[in-house]
Structures are given as structure tokens and as C-alpha cells.
């Protein structure tokens, strides 16, 4: 082999070695890139998993609905925070049920606020075996029921109790319309019911033409407010003193709902003795009617006048008064900004003079609701064209509801204080007049009298219908905007981009 050939062979070997080293280096670079890519992917997955775990454990919830349909009230949160053991919640609901979504979202809010709720969802149509097992255990004979259980005590909430419907248009061939969602009120009441294990008894006095608690008459009946009371974990009974001759020892609250004839003297004496023994009394007194309770109430620092209260600045027809002025009291602290409607009420005022009781034990009278300064108490009931007479009438603002308490306030002592609430109207709680504000006012008074701080009324959430009202001009503008302007702008932008790329 010549010297030139050897040199060419050596150069070829050197070139092959350089290529091999280059290929090896490229292979190592590709391998390193793959390992880096794999490590980066694993690290990214780990970070995403960690972020997902942390977001699952620590998150913020927002209720973006216009009516705050799923936001829990302070009363519900107070009940949930007081739980010391697990409450079982079994939801027997069909997914096609109209209020299923509302129930599901509300239950999730309860679970988010409290970890002591154990919730089990059972579809009666699909999970037949489990549904049959739980149906036998909890004695559920129909679907669309929510069962709350705590230490063997149970409370059942049906779909009818969760939503309120308007059936006024059913006769015209239209479907019932959902008016309000009462799930929170029903669920919180059920939880309180099974946890507390006790149901205070409320007695409505009868025998004097009082409002009927099971009367469905829209003007005089009290069946709606009775249903609200029962849903608030309270027992409702009637009491005829002419038959019983005494107030039962298990009476947690006595209600006198607008009697049409005066009570007998011996009945007044029984009620007076009941109050002296730390009793609780709720009085609703209509105008134009004598109740014989006037003297008893004066002994407790309350004057029930024989008048009608008028307020031309807070009325539409002249017979109702929109109450927006409230006193400073636990009953009314949640009513700020909410209107109650009273119908030709009579005035209920604190007595200005001293009572016979000693100053330290004198009943404390607080005004709960009043008219504006333009209102007055008209004492001339025969005058059809009522005008304020400063010499005879009661100047505004005129109180129409008061609360009375005698004894230690709050938890200062073990002695149970006597409590009274007097409304100068009985119509506001009737079936046809019961608005959201009236319902809250009545139930707040009831629960204050019973010292049930956790159950001052939870108002139903109203459904709002969002309607888009448009004129012919609005429709024409909408047509040009959606059919001509927006598509034309998109097309013009496309043409301009194509022209620029072409150049």
C-alpha cells in the first residue's frame, strides 16, 4: 500500500470516528431531552395534582343567582355550627323531579358549611335494591322525600314542602307556577327538630270567635301560618277554657288570635295567673272589637286603644299600612328594609305612667313597629272622612306592635322571664294577607317568646321571572345588529386579512 493510500485510509477512519462520535452525542442529547420531557411532564402532573387537591380542600364558593337561592342564612349556619354528632340525610329523589336541582345544590351548600352531615342520594327508579332497603328502614312509601335522622329521631320533608306553587292559572289550562323555594327553611327546621328532640306546644285560645288555625278561608283563616308553625318544629293545639277550666302545664305559649267577643272575667284571671308564673302570651287584637284584655295588658305596661291607625303616606287603598319603621329588638333586627302590611290596625302603646310594680321588677315594654310621623290613631270611629284632630287623636308615629318582658334578661339568671307580644292587628297573619315580611314578623315574635334564638324565621327564596320586553323598533335594531352588522364586520375583517397576506 502506498503512502498516499495509507493517508487516505487514516483520514477515512478519522472521519468515520468523528461521525460516530457526533451520532453518539446526538443520541445522548435526544435521550436527555426525552428524560427532561418525561421529568417535566411528571412534575407538571404532580403540580396539577397538588393544586387540584389543595383546591378541593380549600376553595371559595359564590352564589351568583340573582335571588341568592342557595346562600345559607345566619340562622342555618348557627344550627350547623352547633352540631356535636353526625346527622344522616337520605335523599329519596327522582332526578326528573322539578325541584331536584335546587335540592341538590342546597344540600351541597349544607355539606360545604358542615362536615357533620352524612348525605346519601338514592334514585328510587335506578338504584332499586338500595332504595327498597332504605325504604323499609326509614318507612318511606313514596319517592321525593328527604329524611333527616339523628340518634333514632327522624324528620321527613316532602317535595311539596320544599317549593310553593301558584295554582291560580290551572283552571285555564296552564301548569302550576313555582313561586318560592322553601328548602332551607324546611331542612334547617328538620335538623333542629331531630337534634333538639323536643317540640314546644302552642295553644290557640278558642271559644270567642278567634281565627281558626285549620280554617282555609283566605280572609279569616290561619291555616297558612299554622303550617309555618308546624314546619318550625312546634306543636299546635286549641284550648277552650270553658271546657278545660285551666291552662295546661305543658303550654309553652298561649296565642289569643283576634277574639270577636270579650273574654270572661275568670278567663282573664287564669291568663293573669299564667303570666305571673313566667308564662308566654301572644295577642292579636283587631280594631272595632272589645277583647276584655285591655285591663290585663295595662297591668303589664301596655295600652290597647279603641281606635284605628291611619297613615296616608304608607298606604295604597287607605285600609292597609305598609310598616317600614321598626324598633330595636331581637324580633325586628332582621326586618330592616322589609315591609310588613297591617290592615286597619289599632294602636298598641307603652303606658306612660308608672305601673304598680316596683321599678326593678317593672315590665320592659319595647315598640316593635310603628307608622311614620304622618300617621295617627283615629279615635272617632264613626267619622268616614277621618282627619287628624290634635285634641283627640293619637299623633304619629303610632306604635302598632309591642314586646314585653319582665324578669332577668338573657341568661343572667335561671329564672325564666315572662314575655308578651301584642299586635294591633289580626288580619296580617291571615291566609290571604300573609306576605314574606308578615310571615317573618310573626314567626320571629313566636320564636322570641319561646326563646328559640336559632329559629327566627328563615324567609323563602322567591323565584324571579326574567322577561325581555321589546318594542318593534327594538326588534328591528336587534335584527340589523345580529344579521347584518356583526356578520358583516366579521366578513370585512376576513377580507382585509386576506388582502394583506396577498400583498
As a three-state string, the secondary structure of 339-390 is: CEEEECCCCEEECCCCCCCCHHHCCEEEEEEECCCCCEEECCCCCCCCCCCC
Number of domains the chain contains: 4
Asked whether residue 455 is domain-assigned, the answer is no
441-461: pLDDT as tens digits: 998 999 899 987 655 556 666
Give the span between the Cα atoms of 247 and 138, in whole angstroms.
Answer: 37
Asked whether residue 503 is domain-assigned, the answer is no
Asked whether residue 391 is domain-assigned, the answer is yes
* Cell numbers representing residue 288 in the block: 272595632
Q: With 80 as the cut, is the pLDDT of residue 261 above it?
A: yes
> Domain of 154: which CATH number?
3.40.30.10
Give the span between the Cα atoms of 233 and 238, in whole angstroms.
Answer: 17
Asked whether residue 12 is domain-assigned, the answer is no
Q: With 70 as the cut, is the pLDDT of residue 356 above it?
A: no
pLDDT for 95 equals: 86
Within this chain, do residues 75 and 190 fall inside the same structural domain, yes or no?
yes
Domain of residue 493 covers: 471-497
Within this chain, do residues 138 and 253 fall inside the same structural domain, yes or no?
no
pLDDT for 69 equals: 64
Give the span between the Cα atoms of 253 and 333, in whole angstroms.
Answer: 22
Within this chain, do residues 38 and 163 fall inside the same structural domain, yes or no?
no
Within this chain, do residues 223 and 130 fall inside the same structural domain, yes or no?
no
Asked whether residue 365 is domain-assigned, the answer is yes
b/e sequence 55-94, b meaning 16+ C-beta within 10 Å? eeeeeeeeeeeeeebbebbebbeebbeeeeeebbbbbbbe
Could you give the angle at which helices 183-196 and 74-81 cross, rounded to 10 degrees? Answer: 30
Domain finish residue from 184, 200, 216? 200
Within this chain, do residues 184 and 210 fall inside the same structural domain, yes or no?
no
Please give the residue that has the higher pLDDT: either 401 or 76.
Answer: 401
pTM for the complete prediction?
A: 0.63
Within this chain, do residues 50 and 99 fall inside the same structural domain, yes or no?
no
288-326: pLDDT as tens digits: 888 999 999 999 999 999 889 998 888 887 788 999 899
Within this chain, do residues 142 and 219 fall inside the same structural domain, yes or no?
no
SS (H, E, C) 68-96: CCCCCCHHHHHHHHCCCCCEEEEEECCCC
Asked whether residue 8 is domain-assigned, the answer is no
* Cell numbers representing residue 327 in the block: 324598633
Within this chain, do residues 73 and 209 fall inside the same structural domain, yes or no?
no
pLDDT for 358 equals: 47
Within this chain, do residues 177 and 210 fall inside the same structural domain, yes or no?
no
Domain finish residue from 200, 228, 258? 200
Asked whether residue 9 is domain-assigned, the answer is no
Q: Which of 153-157, 292-296, 489-493 has the lowest mean pLDDT?
A: 153-157
Within this chain, do residues 250 and 397 fall inside the same structural domain, yes or no?
yes
Within this chain, do residues 69 and 35 fall inside the same structural domain, yes or no?
no
Say if CB 177 and CB 169 are below 8 A apart: yes
Asked whether residue 10 is domain-assigned, the answer is no
366-396: pLDDT as tens digits: 999 999 999 988 888 776 667 888 788 889 8
Within this chain, do residues 260 and 406 fall inside the same structural domain, yes or no?
yes
Amino acid at each position: 500500500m502506498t503512502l498516499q493510500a495509507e493517508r487516505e485510509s487514516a483520514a477515512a477512519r478519522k472521519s468515520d470516528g468523528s461521525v460516530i462520535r457526533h451520532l453518539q452525542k446526538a443520541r445522548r442529547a435526544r435521550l436527555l431531552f426525552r428524560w427532561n420531557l418525561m421529568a417535566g411532564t411528571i412534575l407538571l402532573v404532580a403540580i396539577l395534582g397538588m393544586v387540584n387537591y389543595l383546591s378541593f380542600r380549600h376553595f371559595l364558593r359564590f352564589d351568583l343567582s340573582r335571588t341568592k337561592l342557595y346562600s345559607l342564612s345566619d340562622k342555618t349556619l348557627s344550627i350547623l355550627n352547633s352540631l356535636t354528632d353526625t346527622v344522616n340525610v337520605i335523599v329519596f329523589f327522582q332526578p326528573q323531579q322539578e325541584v331536584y336541582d335546587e335540592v341538590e345544590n342546597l344540600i351541597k351548600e349544607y355539606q360545604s358549611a358542615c362536615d357533620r352531615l352524612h348525605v346519601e342520594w338514592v334514585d328510587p327508579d335506578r338504584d332499586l335494591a338500595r332504595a327498597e332497603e332504605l325504604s323499609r328502614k326509614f318507612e318511606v312509601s313514596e319517592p321525593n322525600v328527604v329524611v333527616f335522622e339523628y340518634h333514632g329521631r327522624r324528620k321527613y320533608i316532602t317535595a311539596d314542602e320544599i317549593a310553593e306553587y301558584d295554582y291560580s292559572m290551572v283552571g285555564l289550562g296552564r301548569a302550576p307556577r313555582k313561586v318560592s323555594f322553601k328548602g332551607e327553611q324546611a331542612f334547617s327546621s328538620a335538623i333542629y327538630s331531630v337534634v333538639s328532640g323536643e317540640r314546644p306546644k302552642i295553644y290557640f285560645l278558642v271559644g270567642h270567635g278567634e281565627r281558626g288555625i285549620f280554617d282555609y278561608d283566605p280572609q279569616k283563616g290561619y291555616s297558612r301560618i299554622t303550617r309555618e308553625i308546624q314546619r318550625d318544629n312546634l306543636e299546635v293545639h286549641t284550648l277552650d277554657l270553658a271546657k278545660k277550666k285551666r291552662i295546661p302545664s305543658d303550654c309553652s305559649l298561649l296565642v289569643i288570635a283576634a277574639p270577636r267577643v270579650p273574654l270572661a272575667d275568670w278567663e282573664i284571671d287564669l291568663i293573669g295567673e299564667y303570666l305571673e308564673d313566667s308564662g308566654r302570651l301572644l295577642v292579636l287584637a283587631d280594631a272595632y272589637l272589645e277583647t276584655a284584655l285591655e285591663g290585663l295588658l295595662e297591668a303589664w305596661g301596655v295600652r290597647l286603644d279603641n281606635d284605628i291607625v291611619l297613615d296616608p303616606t304608607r298606604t295604597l287603598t287607605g285600609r292597609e299600612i305598609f310598616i317600614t319603621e321598626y324598633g330595636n329588638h331581637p324580633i325586628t333586627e332582621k326586618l330592616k328594609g322589609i315591609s310588613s302590611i297591617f290592615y286597619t290596625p289599632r294602636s298598641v302603646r307603652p303606658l306612660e305612667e308608672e305601673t304598680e310594680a316596683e321599678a326593678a321588677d317593672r315590665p320592659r315594654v319595647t315598640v316593635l313597629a310603628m307608622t311614620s310621623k304622618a300617621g295617627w290613631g283615629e279615635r272617632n270611629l264613626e267619622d268616614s272622612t277621618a282627619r287628624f284632630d290634635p285634641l283627640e287623636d293619637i299623633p304619629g308615629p303610632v306604635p302598632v306592635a309591642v314586646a314585653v318582658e319582665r324578669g332577668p334578661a338573657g341568661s343572667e339568671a335561671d329564672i325564666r322571664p315572662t314575655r308578651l307580644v301584642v299586635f294591633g292587628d289580626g288580619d296580617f297573619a291571615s291566609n290571604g294577607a300573609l306576605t314574606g315580611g308578615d310571615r317573618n314578623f310573626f314567626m320571629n315574635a313566636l320564636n322570641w317568646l319561646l326563646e328559640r334564638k336559632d329559629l327566627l324565621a328563615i324567609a323563602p327564596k322567591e323565584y324571579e321571572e326574567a322577561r325581555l320586553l321589546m318594542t318593534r323598533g327594538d326588534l328591528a335594531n336587534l335584527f340589523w345588529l345580529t344579521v347584518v352588522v356583526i356578520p358583516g364586520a366579521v366578513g370585512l375583517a376576513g377580507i382585509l386579512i386576506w388582502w394583506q397576506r396577498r400583498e
